[in-house]
Amino acid sequence: MSTTESYQHRFPNGLTVVGERMPSVKSAAFSLLLPAGAIYDPPERLGTAGVLAEWMLRGAGDRDSRSLIEALDRLGATYRVSAQSVHLGLTAATLGRHLIAVLRILVDVVRRPHLRDDDFESVRALAAQSLRSLEDDPGAKLMVELRRRHFRDPWGRHPLGTPEGVAALTPESVRQFHGAHVHSSGAILAAAGDIDWTALVDAVAELLGDAPPCPEPTLRPGPAGPARDHIAKATEQVQIGLALPMVPLPHPDSYQARAAAAILGGYSSARLFTEVREKRGLCYSVAAAYESFRDEAALVCHAGTSSDRAQQTLDVMLAELNRLCDRGVAADELETMRAGLKSSWIMQQESSLARSSQIASDLYYLGRVRTLDEISAALDALTPQSVSRYCGSLRRDQMTILSLGPRALVCPE
C-alpha cells in the first residue's frame, strides 16, 4: 500500500516549508500562511488585512490584473488569497507538474503586488459591500459580534473589519501594512500531493529565501465582553449565540474539547438538534462547534428562531449545556461522534488542498504535523469517562450570551 512521505525545512529568515507526498494523487497544492491577519490591523483601521488581500490580486510582478488571472488559468490553478484572524492566507491547487509555476506567480502577489491607487477605491468598495451584507444576514452578524465579545481583542476581530475602519483606510496606510507584516518571518508554506520536494525547496529558496527576517509584531491584548448583551434589530427571527472557554488546540485535552462540542451540536443527531429542533420544534437550525486560536478556544453555539419561541430556545440550549457539564456523555454518543470525526478528517485529507491546509495549521498550532494514524489513535483513546471529566471542568461562569432581534432575552447571571 502506498504511504505518504513527509519533509520539513526551515530557512534562516524564519520561513518554514513542510511537504507531504501523496503517491495516490496527481494533484498538488500549497497553503502559505503569512503573519498578517486581522489581529494585526491598526485599531483605528480595522479591515486593513481584508482590503490588502483583495488588492494584492490586482496585478503583481510584470503582470497586470488580467494577465495574472490568465496565467493562473492556463496552469489550471484554483487559488485564493484571504485575510484570516491570524494570517493572510494564500492557497492554490493544480496538477503536480504545474505546482512550482503557480507558486512563482503567487509569490509575486506576495512580494511584488502593484497596489496601485487606481484600483484602491474599487477594492475598498467591495469590502464595504461585504460589511453591509452582514446586516442582511442576522445569523452571520450575530456570530461576528459573539466572537468579538467573547474573545479578547484582537482575537475577537472579524477579518472584514468595521465600516468605520474601512472608511479610514488610505492606499498608503494599506501599503505600509503590507511592508510591515507581509514577510517570511514566522511564515509557513505547506505543500501536499504530487510534489517534488527537492525542486520545491530549491524554488522556495530562490523566491522567498532571500527575504530579510523581521521582528515578530507585539500584540497588546484588550478586554473582552460584555458577557451578556443584546443587539436590537427589527427582524422576524431572533438569533441566539452562546460561547464559553475551552482548552486550545495545543492542549492535551483538545480532543476531549472537540468531542464535547460535536456531541452537543456537531451533527444532525447531536443533543441540541434533537432537543431543540426535533423534540420541541423550536427552530430549524441549531449547532455547536469548537473554535481555537493558539492560546484560547471556545465552544460556540448558535440558534435562530421566532420571537415567541426565543426565550424557550435559549432555556433549552442552556439546559442541554448544563446536562453535558453535569452528567457527561454516554458511550453510544461517543461512538457516533468518533465515527463522524474520523470520516470527515479522512475524507478531507484525500484532497491535496485540504491536506496542505491541515499540515500548515498543525505546524502553526502544534509545531509539528500530525499523521492521520495519530489523529485516529487519539480519537480511539477517548472514553466516556475522559470526555465527561473534561465536560465537568467547563467554566460556565465565563459564558458569553448574545441575542439579536426585537427584544432582549432573560439570561442567567
Q: Which sequence spans correspond to the domains of the chain?
A: 5-207, 228-405
What are the phi and psi torsion angles at 385 (to 5°)?
-70, -45
pLDDT at 188: 97
Chunk the chain into consecutive blocks of 10 residues (it has 413) and report each block's average pLDDT, rounded to whole numbers: 78 95 94 96 97 97 96 97 96 98 97 97 97 94 97 95 98 97 92 97 95 81 92 95 97 97 94 94 93 96 96 97 97 94 79 94 95 91 97 97 97 89
228-405: which CATH topology? Answer: Cytochrome Bc1 Complex; Chain A, domain 1 (3.30.830)
Q: For residue 127, which of 55, 192, 19 has the smallest C-alpha distance? A: 55
Helix, strand, or coil (residue 306):
strand
Distance CA 99, CA 103 (A): 6
Residue 401's alpha-carbon distances to 51, 148, 226, 333, in angstroms, are: 30, 12, 9, 26
Residue 155's alpha-carbon distances to 40, 84, 126, 220, 294, in angstroms, are: 10, 11, 24, 11, 10
pLDDT at 216: 77
Neighbours of 94 (CB within 10 A): 25
Distance CA 70, CA 76 (A): 10
5-207: which CATH topology? Answer: Cytochrome Bc1 Complex; Chain A, domain 1 (3.30.830)
pLDDT at 304: 96
5-207 matches 228-405 in fold: yes
Distance of alpha carbon 311 from the chain centroid: 30
pLDDT at 2: 45
Contacts 24+ apart (CB under 8 A), 73-80: 75/101, 75/102, 75/105, 77/102, 78/353, 79/106
Neighbours of 158 (CB within 10 A): 20
pLDDT at 234: 93
Q: Cell numbers of 7, please? A: 519533509
